[in-house]
């Protein structure tokens, strides 16, 4: 593949992706102490892992907001805990299955459970998300 596309093009794409990830890490690091980063400290996700997730979310134009909920948001996660995300869409073009596949393809040792916020029928789950949810990404 490298021969077909050319070493220069692949190197350029790798550099672009690294710069994008670096910018995401910097923006997360620069948040004030009362912001999301402080809330994320008890989720079991480090800065690099958070940046990888946010990078996928921010490159999807159909996402308005992504909320972390479940055991990670409550701070009671285990090493094997999945990452629960509720997604608020801007429009109907969001393919939630494709998004879940992209997140699960990240080089992370966690499984992602991704739900559309408006499709949650169980009132108790909605209340849980409102009560303990952490906004991981918002446009």
Ranges 3-12, 72-81, 125-134: which has the least confidence: 3-12
Q: Report the pLDDT value the prediction gives residue 116, as an integer from 0 to 100.
A: 92
Q: Is the pLDDT of residue 48 over 80?
A: yes
Q: What pTM did the predictor assign? A: 0.72
**All domains of the chain in start order, with CATH:** 32-138 (3.30.460.10)
User: How far, in Å, CA of 85 to CA of 95, rounded?
Assistant: 14
- CB 95, CB 32: distance < 8 Å: no
Closest CA to 88 of 118, 110, 44: 118
Query: For residue range 31-42, what is the model confidence (pLDDT) as tens digits?
Result: 444 455 676 778
């Amino acid at each position: 593949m490298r021969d077909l596309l050319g070493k220069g093009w692949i190197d350029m794409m790798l550099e672009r992706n690294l710069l994008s990830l670096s910018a995401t890490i910097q923006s997360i690091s620069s948040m004030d102490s009362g912001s999301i980063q402080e809330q994320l400290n008890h989720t079991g996700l480090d800065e690099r892992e958070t940046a990888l997730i946010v990078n996928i979310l921010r490159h999807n134009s159909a996402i308005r907001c992504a909320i972390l909920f479940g055991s990670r948001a409550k701070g009671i996660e285990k090493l094997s805990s999945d990452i629960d995300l509720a997604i608020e869409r801007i429009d109907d073009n969001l393919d939630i299955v494709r998004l879940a596949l992209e997140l699960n393809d990240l080089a992370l040792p966690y499984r992602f459970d991704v739900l559309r916020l408006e499709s949650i029928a169980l009132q108790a789950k909605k209340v849980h998300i409102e009560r303990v949810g952490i906004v991981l990404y918002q446009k």
